[in-house]
Structure formats: C-alpha cells, structure tokens
Amino acid sequence: AQKITQTQPGMFVQEKEAVTLDCTYDTSDQSYGLFWYKQPSSGEMIFLIYQGSYDEQNATEGRYSLNFQKARKSANLVISASQLGDSAMYFCAMSSGGSYIPTFGRGTSLIVHP
Amino acid sequence: DTEVTQTPKHLVMGMTNKKSLKCEQHMGHRAMYWYKQKAKKPPELMFVYSYEKLSINESVPSRFSPECPNSSLLNLHLHALQPEDSALYLCASSQVRGGATSTDTQYFGPGTRLTVL
C-alpha cells in the first residue's frame, strides 16, 4: 500500500519570499513517481512538477523545485520568489509499482501576503 | 497540448433531474478518470476507464453512471442525486503505462461545480 502525508494544512508566506511545502511518502515499491499539483480557487488541478524514484537530479520547473530526499522518503515542493497568484491548495501525489493511478495527499493551503 | 475540457462549468439540479457531465481530451491518453472533490479535501477517485473499458469503480452509488463512448470522450450521467452529492467533479486523463514514470502524469479539466437542491 502507498501513502502520502502532507502535515501542513495551511502555510503563509510573504510575496517574493521562498516557501517549502512538505510531503512524505511510504511505499514498498522501488519504482515510483511523485507529483505536485496546484489547485487555485477556480478548481482546476494544475500539474506542476514530477520526480521519478530513479532520477538522480532534483526536478525543477521554473520557480518550482522538488527537494527529493529518498532516504527520508520526502519530496518537498519549493516555490521561489512567491507571487500573489501562488495562493492555492497544493497536493502531493504518488504512483508506484505497476499502477498508473496516483494516491493524493490531503493538501496544503498556501496564502501569499503582499 | 495538455488540455482537458469539461462541460458544463456549473450545474444546478434537483433531486429528480437527469443530467450529464462531459469531458474531452485530445492527448491520445487511454486512461480517463472521474473524481469527486469536496472543498479543502483531496480529490476522491470515482471511476477509471482504461482503453475505453471501465477498470475501476470505487463503490460509487448507481445514481452515478459513467460512459466512455470513445478514446477522447468521457461522460458522467447523473440521476436522482442527493444534496450530499454537491461537489466539484473533476475529469482527468493519462497514459496507461504504469512503472511509475512521468507518463503517469494526470492532466485535469477545469471541473464542473455541481449543486443538488
């Protein structure tokens, strides 16, 4: 069984500062993938970034980077230079083994203050 | 193009009505999903279609009836819903590869906000 844990129900950050959203996972599979999604109040789930269990480098996509620590089973999302438009729910998800269907964490609500 | 479209954006229906939600993707994905999401909660998987065949039904009540007419379209037929079915309904699509690669990435539509009176 696979499990995703997001322990921060809410986070606040000042505009232009960096913020880290935590995600830990548990799986017995050696092959797995980790995903982060952003969900603004409009409702659409927007794919942000992917990290594979065998990837040697941490994934980056623009202002988003994934701090992947395999031994600690953590896959934290780092957003640099926060913008007001970053205010949203953020979900961490994982697919593992032979299943292509991800398991989602409970999400973290991020509010960016001006 | 990573676009998944959903119609309608908003839907208000009575408990005796019959309505349908529609979803379309043109990314060549062969897996399509319906999720139900309540406010501030993660999406809950309802149905998965793989190669146009229903592969997963997460014990969803029969008042929800999915349909996959072809590889690009996914419908969710609604009948005799209850007020507690009010939620955001999200459609998603992905490849069917497994092996935990980036091809597992799900792409979501904008959702349909459903209110049952």
Tokens representing residue B35 in the block: 């999720």
- The chain A residues in contact with chain B (CB within 8 A) are 29, 31-33, 35, 37, 42-47, 50, 52-53, 89, 91, 95-102, 104-107, 109
d(CA A36, CA A29): 19
Per-residue pLDDT, B48: 95
pLDDT digits (tens, 9 = 90+) for A6-59: 999 999 999 999 999 999 999 999 989 999 999 999 999 999 999 999 998 999
pLDDT digits (tens, 9 = 90+) for B55-109: 999 999 999 999 999 999 999 999 999 999 999 999 999 988 666 677 779 999 9
pLDDT digits (tens, 9 = 90+) for B7-61: 999 999 999 999 999 999 999 999 999 999 999 999 999 999 999 999 999 999 9
Burial per residue of A50-76, b for 16 or more beta-carbon CB atoms within 10 angstroms, e otherwise: bbbbeeeeebeeeebbbbbeeeebbbb
